[in-house]
């Protein structure tokens, strides 16, 4: 599904990704762990198409297409979804308007008809209920006045509505208490399917108790330095990232 080969990227004069390679097959859930500054968030931004980063080498192929040639919107339409570490607030644009515009863009790209207003409302009601989100939250501006947990839940709602084929969860656990973490994880797990792959980026092992990955990679200084199974997370939990120049966190 996704094939990253020898990816190099920088921001300003600073090279952050230094030959990153990774292949993810349909239905697989991969986790990337690593110390602060390893380049984890850069990877998610580069995959989603943030313009601040300059790709200086390597390739990314997504469902047979050159991902790097597309802008952020095209990537989203073709099935890449990034759950943000810090979702922004957009005052004045209601969640409903936002999601409806996004969904119709995605549907159009996939050759589907736009959803009628009643159908859209029905869909929203159903999806929001699953995540315990009120109608009031949907009417408010995107993430405006939402708590940290509510913002993450809103991201998962968007994920469930847009039905992407590849989800990147960037430090989704940051700022979540245990209850919020459970709700968000359940939301994510319910979206796991043989056609959908995921890349879970996290500093802590905790999240991986809830979203259990098939493969775990350790990232350090802009590339993958180790790959293993679930047990790797537990090992890191006890030893920390000391081996990578950082104390256990």
Partner 1 sequence: MSADLHPIRTAAEQALSSAIDATLAAAPASGPIADLRRAAAKTFTENGLPTRRVEEWHYTDLRALMREALPIAGAPDAAAVAEAGKGVVAFPEAVRIVFVNGTLVESLSDLASLPAGLTVTSLEAALASGDPLLERIGSLSPKSYDGALALNTAFLRAGLLIKVAAGATVEKPLHVAHVFTGAAAATYARNVIVVEDGAKATLIESFAGVEGVAYQANDAMEMVVGAGATLEHVRLQEEGAKALHLGTLMLDLGKEATFNSFTLTAGAATSRVSLYGKLTGEGAHLGIRGANLLKARQHGDMTLVIEHIEPGCDSRELIKSVLADEARGVFQGKIVVRPEAQKTDGRMMSQALLLGDNAEMDNKPELEIFADDVQCGHGATAGAMDENLMFYMMARGIAKAEAEALLIQAFVGEAVEFVTNEAVRETLIARMEAWLKARAA
Where does this chain bind partner 1 (CB under 8 A)?
A: 48-52, 71-73, 75-77, 81-82, 84, 87-88, 90-93, 97-99, 101-103, 105-106, 109, 141-142, 158, 162
Q: What are phi and psi of 144, to 5 degrees?
A: -75, 120
Chain mean position to CA 109: 21
10 versus 206: smaller Cβ distance to partner 1: 10
What's the rounded Cα separation, in Å, for the pair 141 and 90?
A: 6
165 versus 246: smaller Cβ distance to partner 1: 165
35 versus 49: smaller Cβ distance to partner 1: 49
What's the rounded Cα separation, in Å, for the pair 95 and 80?
A: 20
82 versus 124: smaller Cβ distance to partner 1: 82
Q: What are phi and psi of 165, to 5 degrees?
A: -95, -15
What's the rounded Cα separation, in Å, for the pair 176 and 141?
A: 21
Which of 173, 179, 19 shows the shortest CA–CA distance to 84?
173
66 versus 177: smaller Cβ distance to partner 1: 66
**What is the smallest separation between the CB atom of 80 and partner 1, expressed in angstroms?**
8
Q: HSE (CB half, 13 Å, CA atoms) of 122?
A: 5
3-state secondary structure of 37: coil
72 versus 115: smaller Cβ distance to partner 1: 72
Radius of gyration in angstroms for the set of CA atoms belonging to the chain, rounded to a whole number = 18
| Beta strands, E only, 12-162 | 14-24, 29-33, 54-62, 65-66, 80-83, 90-94, 141-142
151 versus 203: smaller Cβ distance to partner 1: 151
177's CB contacts (< 8 A; 6+ apart) are 149
């Amino acid at each position: 599904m996704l094939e990253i080969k020898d990816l190099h990227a920088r921001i300003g004069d600073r090279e952050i990704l230094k030959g990153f390679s990774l292949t993810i097959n349909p239905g697989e859930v991969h986790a990337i762990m690593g110390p602060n500054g390893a380049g984890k968030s850069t990877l998610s931004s580069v995959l989603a198409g943030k313009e601040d980063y300059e790709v200086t080498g390597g390739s990314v192929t997504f469902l047979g297409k050159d991902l790097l040639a597309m802008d952020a919107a095209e990537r989203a339409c073709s099935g890449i979804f990034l759950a943000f570490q810090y979702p922004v607030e957009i005052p004045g644009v209601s969640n409903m308007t936002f999601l409806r515009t996004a969904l119709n863009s995605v549907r159009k790209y996939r050759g589907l008809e736009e959803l009628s207003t009643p159908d859209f409302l029905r869909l929203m009601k159903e999806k929001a209920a699953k995540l315990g989100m009120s109608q009031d939250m949907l009417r408010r501006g995107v993430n405006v006045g939402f708590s940290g947990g509510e913002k993450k839940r809103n991201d998962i709602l968007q994920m469930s509505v847009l039905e992407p084929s590849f989800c990147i969860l960037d430090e989704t656990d940051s700022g979540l208490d245990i209850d919020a973490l459970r709700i968000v994880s359940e939301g994510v797990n319910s979206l796991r399917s043989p056609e959908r792959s995921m890349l879970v980026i996290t500093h802590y092992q905790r999240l991986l108790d809830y979203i259990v990955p098939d493969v775990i990679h350790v990232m350090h200084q802009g590339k993958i330095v180790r790959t293993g199974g679930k047990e790797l997370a537990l090992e890191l939990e006890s030893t920390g990232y000391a081996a990578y120049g950082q104390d256990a966190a």
